[in-house]
Chain A
């Protein structure tokens, strides 16, 4: 089963770290990612650029409005996501507890939702209405 792990970080936590400290932390994290990969637990993941780089879209008054910055202005922001392949929640917790990134900020572990049934039903509905695009 896939679990999406949202890794949160408080950017100001890193401002006071020396380059050596920062490098040491990065090395630890990347090497654990490699370990996850070797055992087939790393099903994907990306690091995110800082929240200032974000654009947020929302539906407002019948059209899309674009604003700068992240959706929620909180002290801790999502710094990266990791898609984890694990047997069950205990296995996911066990794997992510050993990830050095947990020392930099909390991980939120969310099971991936299986929408295949919903998509199949939607396809049937759409097939029954050939005029719609």
Chain B
């Protein structure tokens, strides 16, 4: 076979790998019942394609060819191992006799397999950090090194986390299935939480010198899009809307020098209009369902901000109402804090300050730097310089992220200049 015949096939296989490898893997995990076996089988199938396609031609349905080749390769591999371990022969026989229907690759089946993979990787019996790692590795196809870099951990630590999670799936027999309708709301909440954690890790890294890690946010949005396509529940749509609306502000959120820019100081011409339009449309769709939850409400709040040309013309009254709804379905002191800030914008700093002081008096937010910096900000607007200074200092003592710390230091500096 001449070299030049192999080259176009290699290119086509590269493209197929990028577009289809996650789907093929999801189906092979179902057919073979084992993550590691499926991964080896998929790579064997692509290697075989590279050998055979230049001679035999590209099959009519490349994806189905790769799945069935992978399946046979796995059965072969088990047979070879059966020479040393008799139990493998039984597994190989079971896999071989697996009904033809189960091995058939339909588009519907593939969609189900991808959902199965997502729900299995986000199973509540797995440790939360293992869910993140496993989802990024298996569903998104990121390498262990890429995930480790994004989460500032070492590749061996991360690899061990993934190995342990796969062992738990095997040993505790976590099934490869989409939850039943009764279980769906709770299990879906875990999946959405994983996606939003990935997004936030990319949007507002919890520690470190850089404020955002854009590739993780992009990955989370891709996951959100996939889930909307596979399971168009209102909250799934709401989460995608929320992520797009937050992501639309990325360019305006940090100054060229890497400083944090808060919403009221952002250059709104830098906001991504395409993401805003898509986010608003999705948020409206989720709201119309009447079955929305916290993600949709947060998206609606972000949408109100996106529609205003500046803080002054923002519909704060509507934001206060949305936060009150959010506090009712998902009570949390952080939501209360956000509502207080919106009340301050709507009815003046003193009204907001009273709410924040009451919240702090309850003790829950005493160690939350944003509560102190919001309080400082309202005191500053009321001209209470001493109270503002002591609140900014408290916030500074609690803030861990460099850009946030620099922001607070700058505010303190401005206060002393005023005097």
Measured CB to CB, the residues of A under 8 A from B are: 1, 87-91, 93-94, 111, 117
Contacts and interface: CB of A to CB of B under 8 A. Distances in A.
Nearest to B179: A90
17 contacts: A1-B173, A87-B173, A88-B174, A88-B175, A89-B125, A89-B172, A89-B173, A89-B174, A90-B174, A90-B175, A90-B183, A91-B175, A93-B125, A94-B183, A111-B171, A111-B173, A117-B87
Q: Which 10 A-B pairs have the closest CB atoms?
A: A88-B175, A88-B173, A111-B172, A89-B174, A89-B172, A90-B175, A89-B173, A1-B173, A89-B125, A111-B171
Contacts of A1: 173
Nearest to B87: A117
B138 interface: no
Interface in B11-68: none
Contacts of A111: 171-173
A13 B172 CA distance: 31
A93 B125 CA distance: 10
A117 B179 CA distance: 33
Contacts of B179: 90
B266 interface: no
B177 A90 contact: yes
Contacts of A93: 125
A111 B123 CA distance: 16
A91 B171 CA distance: 15
Contacts of A117: 87
B249 to A, nearest CB: 40
Contacts of A94: 183
Contacts of B174: 88-90
A83 to B, nearest CB: 15
B164 to A, nearest CB: 15
Interface in B159-197: 171-175, 177, 179, 183
A88 B175 CA distance: 6
B109 to A, nearest CB: 20
Interface string B105-127: 00000000000000000010100
Contacts of A91: 175
A93 B180 CA distance: 13
Nearest to A90: B175
Contacts of B183: 90, 94
A133 B335 CA distance: 68
Interface string B373-407: 00000000000000000000000000000000000
Nearest to A93: B125
B320 to A, nearest CB: 38
Nearest to B177: A90
Interface in B80-104: 87
Q: Which of A1, A88, A91 has the most B CB atoms < 10 Å from its CB?
A: A88
